[in-house]
C-alpha cells in the first residue's frame, strides 16, 4: 500500500514539474513577444514598389529639399539608361543649386527663392558655362531590386571639405514606380523620397529629398565624367 502511495505521489510530482516547465516556457514566449512589441518602429521604412495609381509626371519636376521644419523647391530633370537584356535601368534626377556664398544672398521668401532657381538647370547645360553646384540623384534598378542609390555632387567651388566632388551613398529610400519591366523606358516613371545623412546642401540640415521622375532618353552623366568636368 505504501509502495502504491509513493508511486502515485511520484507521478503527481512529475506532472507538476512538466506543468511548471510548460508554464515557464509560455511565460518566456510572452515576455519575448512583449519585448519585440516595445522595440521602436522604423520611422522611415525602405522600399521599392509598383504604384499604378500615380499620374505620369512631366519632363521637368519639382525637387523638394528640406527637413522636418522647412523645405524648398528646385527644378529637376530626369535621364534614364535601360538594359533590356537583363531588365535593368539607371535613373538619374539632375538639379543645380548656387554655391554656398550665392545661396546666402538669395531672398528668404519661399516664392522668390524658388523663382530664382527655376531656370538654373537645363538638360543641355554646359558645365563650362556654369557656376554653382550640380546634383545627381542616382538609382540603379534590376527587376524589383535597388542595386545602388546615391547622390553625387560637383561644384565650381571647394564646397565639400575643401574638395569640389563628393558621393553620398543612400541607404534610406522609398520608391514608387510604374512598372518593373524596363524595356520601354518612356513608360517608366514614379516618385521617390530619400534621406541623406550629410544633407543636400541647399538648406541647413536638408536631409530629406523627394520628387518625381519621368524617364527620358537624355544622356546619363557617369560618375567619372562628373568628377572630371572642366568648368
pLDDT the model gives residue 120: 59
Angular region, 89: left φ>0, alpha ψ -120 to 50, beta rest: beta
Q: Output the DSSP codes for the chain.
A: -HHHHHHHHHHHHHHHHHHHHHHHHHHHHHHHHHHHHHSPPPSS--EEEE-TTSPP--SEEEEEEE-SS-EEEEEEEEEEEEETTTTEEEEEEEEEE--HHHHTTS-SSHHHHHHHHHTS--TT--GGG--SEEEEEEEEEETTEEEEEEEEEEESS-TBTTBSEEEEE--EEEEEES-S--SSGGG-EEEEEEE-TT--SSSTT--EEEEEEE--SSPP--HHHHHT---
What's the chain's Rg over C-alpha atoms? Answer: 28
Q: What are phi and psi of 65, to 5 degrees?
A: -125, 130
pLDDT the model gives residue 61: 86
Q: How far, in Å, CA of 117 to CA of 114, rounded?
A: 5
Q: How far, in Å, CA of 74 to CA of 116, rounded?
A: 10
- Strand ranges across the sheet with 47-50: 47-50, 172-177, 189-195, 208-214, 60-66, 71-83, 88-97, 133-142, 145-155, 165-169
pLDDT the model gives residue 2: 46
Q: Which residue has the cell 499620374?
A: 55
CB count within 10 Å of CB 21 equals 10
Cα–Cα nearest to 57, from 211, 209, 174? 211
Residues of the chain under the 50 pLDDT cut: 2, 4, 6-14, 23, 38-39
Q: How far, in Å, CA of 8 to CA of 222, rounded?
A: 82
Amino acid at each position: 500500500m505504501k509502495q502504491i502511495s509513493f508511486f502515485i505521489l511520484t507521478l503527481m510530482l512529475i506532472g507538476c514539474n512538466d506543468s511548471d516547465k510548460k508554464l515557464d516556457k509560455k511565460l518566456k514566449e510572452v515576455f519575448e513577444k512583449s519585448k519585440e512589441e516595445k522595440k521602436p518602429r522604423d520611422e522611415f521604412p525602405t522600399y521599392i514598389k509598383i504604384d499604378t495609381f500615380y499620374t505620369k509626371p512631366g519632363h521637368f519636376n519639382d525637387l523638394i529639399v528640406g527637413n522636418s521644419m522647412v523645405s524648398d523647391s528646385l527644378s529637376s530633370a530626369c535621364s534614364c539608361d535601360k538594359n533590356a537584356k537583363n531588365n535593368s535601368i539607371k535613373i538619374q534626377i539632375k538639379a543645380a543649386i548656387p554655391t554656398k556664398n550665392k545661396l546666402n544672398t538669395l531672398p528668404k521668401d519661399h516664392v522668390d527663392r524658388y523663382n530664382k532657381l527655376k531656370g538654373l538647370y537645363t538638360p543641355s547645360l554646359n558645365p563650362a558655362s556654369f557656376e554653382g553646384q550640380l546634383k545627381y540623384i542616382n538609382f540603379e534598378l534590376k527587376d524589383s531590386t535597388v542595386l545602388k542609390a546615391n547622390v553625387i555632387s560637383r561644384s565650381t567651388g571647394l564646397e565639400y571639405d575643401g574638395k569640389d566632388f563628393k558621393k553620398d551613398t543612400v541607404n534610406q529610400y522609398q520608391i514608387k514606380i510604374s512598372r518593373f519591366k524596363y524595356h520601354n523606358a518612356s513608360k517608366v516613371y514614379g516618385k521617390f523620397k530619400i534621406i541623406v545623412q550629410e544633407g543636400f546642401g541647399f538648406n541647413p540640415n536638408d536631409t530629406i529629398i523627394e520628387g518625381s521622375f519621368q524617364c527620358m532618353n537624355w544622356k546619363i552623366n557617369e560618375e567619372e565624367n562628373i568628377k572630371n568636368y572642366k568648368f
